[in-house]
Amino acid sequence: MPIPVPGDLRAVRAGGSLGIVIGRPATRVDPARAYDHVAGYTVVNDVSAPHDSFHRPPLRHNCRDGFCPIGPWVVPREAVSDPAALVIRAYVNGDLRQQSPTSGLIRSIPQLLADISEFMTLSEGDILMIGVAENAPLVAPGDRVAIDIQGIGRLENPVIAEAELFAEAKP
């Protein structure tokens, strides 16, 4: 799936994130039992439009068509011995542009599940992202971005102008 760059921008940020796939409903989860609610893990490219505002939810900057490619598959929880010991890498046109370990998370995966499920129920099939490291690389039309998570997989997407995406969608 291509990542579209809006017409008013030259580039967007491509941020690699681990996706935690929920396997059964999670409400007010005890961190010690958090992994009981995890079905598996996947690769997420958390794309965002560059912005400086941190005072309002960045919906316009993050929630656009094509801005959150996920996959290409889900690795079962049991196949990942330690999700806190993975490395997330972002490549642009084959060049490594960012690398971050899941061991450096501000909140551990169990604590993240506990914190989120404190105020909302996570349902089977929901995907909770752990977040993106600072300074995610910029990508522009013509680039190809790949997010690779050791032991989980690799997600690759071409980057195109948004106008191309909508031109392809017309009958």
- What is 74-103 written as a DSSP string? -EEGGG-S-GGG-EEEEEETTEEEEEEEGG
CB atoms inside a 10 Å sphere around CB 42: 22
- Alpha-carbon gap, residue 48 to 3, rounded angstroms: 10
Q: Residue 20 has what pLDDT?
A: 98
Alpha-carbon distances, residue 35 vs 25, 133, 135, 154 (angstroms): 12, 23, 29, 23
Q: Residue 7 has what pLDDT?
A: 86
Cα torsion at 32, 107, 112, 72 (round to 10°)? -110
Domains and CATH numbers, the chain: 3-20+39-99+125-169 (3.90.850.10)
The identity of residue 37, as a single letter, is: H
The rounded average pLDDT for each run of 10 residues, N- to C-terminus, in the chain (171 residues) is 89 95 97 97 90 55 68 96 96 97 93 96 96 89 97 96 74 65
Q: Residue 41 has what pLDDT?
A: 98
Q: Residue 61 has what pLDDT?
A: 53
pTM of the model: 0.89
Structure tokens at 150: 């050791």
Q: Residue 118 has what pLDDT?
A: 97
Q: Residue 116 has what pLDDT?
A: 96
